[in-house]
Structure 1
Amino acid sequence: MNIVAIIVSLLVSAVAFFIISKLPTGVKIESFQKALIAAVVFGILNAILHPVLDLLAAPLNFVTFGFLRGLLTLVINGFIFGLSAWLIQGFRLQWGIWSALIGAFALTVINQLIFSLIPAIG
């Protein structure tokens, strides 16, 4: 992944975090700067923890023949989302784990929507 793609990805995620904070999701982020920090922290944690947590969830995926894959991915993303909020001052989850799960789901959806619009812009 080149540096331009990384910067675009971080900016898209920051915009998504900021949008999520304006929706009734229980996620509160004080400013766009905090959203940018959240995008960086979430990206780093996601790169480090997601493979490890996927490996830990592999037996459950195997036993259920992969039927729980999407749910487990949402829970893992929710955990990483919550951990990001815990690490960043100015990023709060009003409803605890529920806000983290809703925020993780919303982050996925909004990122996909924004990335689907980027080729049309360029």
Structure 2
Amino acid sequence: MRILLLWLLNAVALLAVAYLLPAIQVASFGWALAAALVLGLINSVVRPVLTILTLPITLLTLGLFYFVLNGLLFWLAGSLLPGFRVTNFGAAFVGAILYGVIAWVLAAFIPGNKD
């Protein structure tokens, strides 16, 4: 039940990001659910591999490249789904940061959440 609630809250966070940034568009709440699912899958499957592969660059930039990696993965999710569109990398970079912050704030309101 908790996973479904987090999924719904991530979809709401994605809609909030699309509302705040005109360069990011979500067609409907259904597409927001699909995009939240794809983002979750990308973050659990692709991100660990890319984090290890880009570790030298991340260390060289004192961890700042991790934000670039987040933006690239957000942009990848936008290119995989027709109902979720990210127009450029700058929007993906800012959108990934906003999405993470909004999802974190919304998840803080779940009872029993220790994140």
**TM-score bin (small chain):** 0.7 to 0.9
Aligned to 2:70: 77
5+ unaligned residues in a row in structure 2: which ranges? none
TM-superposed CA distance for 1:82, in Å, is 0.6
1:92 alignment partner in structure 2: 85
Kept after mapping to 2: 8 A contact 1:21/1:28: yes
Matched, 1:31 2:24: no
1:68 aligns with 2:68: no
Q: Is the 8 A contact 1:27 1:93 kept in 2?
A: yes
1:55 and 1:25 mapped to 2: Cα distance? 33
The structure in which a higher percent of residues are helix is 1
Pairwise CA distance, 1:112? 1.2
Q: Aligned equivalents of 1:61 and 1:45: distance in 2?
A: 19
Q: Deviations over 1:48-72 (max 9, x none)?
A: 111011101212334x3xx622x22
For this pair of structures, how many residues does the alignment match? 112
One-letter amino acid matched to 1:106: L
Q: Decide which of 83, 93, 102 is 1:110's aligned counterpart.
A: 102
Point out the structure with max Rg over C-alpha. 1
| 2:38 is the counterpart of 1:41 | yes
Q: 1:55 is matched with which residue: 32, 48, 52?
A: 52
Q: CA RMSD in A?
A: 1.7
Runs of 4+ in 1 over 4 A off after TM superposition: none
Instruction: Measure the CA separation in 2 of the matches of 1:56 and 1:9.
Output: 29
Residue 4 (structure 2) aligned to one of 7, 12, 17: 7
Which structure 1 residue ranges, 5 or more long, are not aligned?
A: none
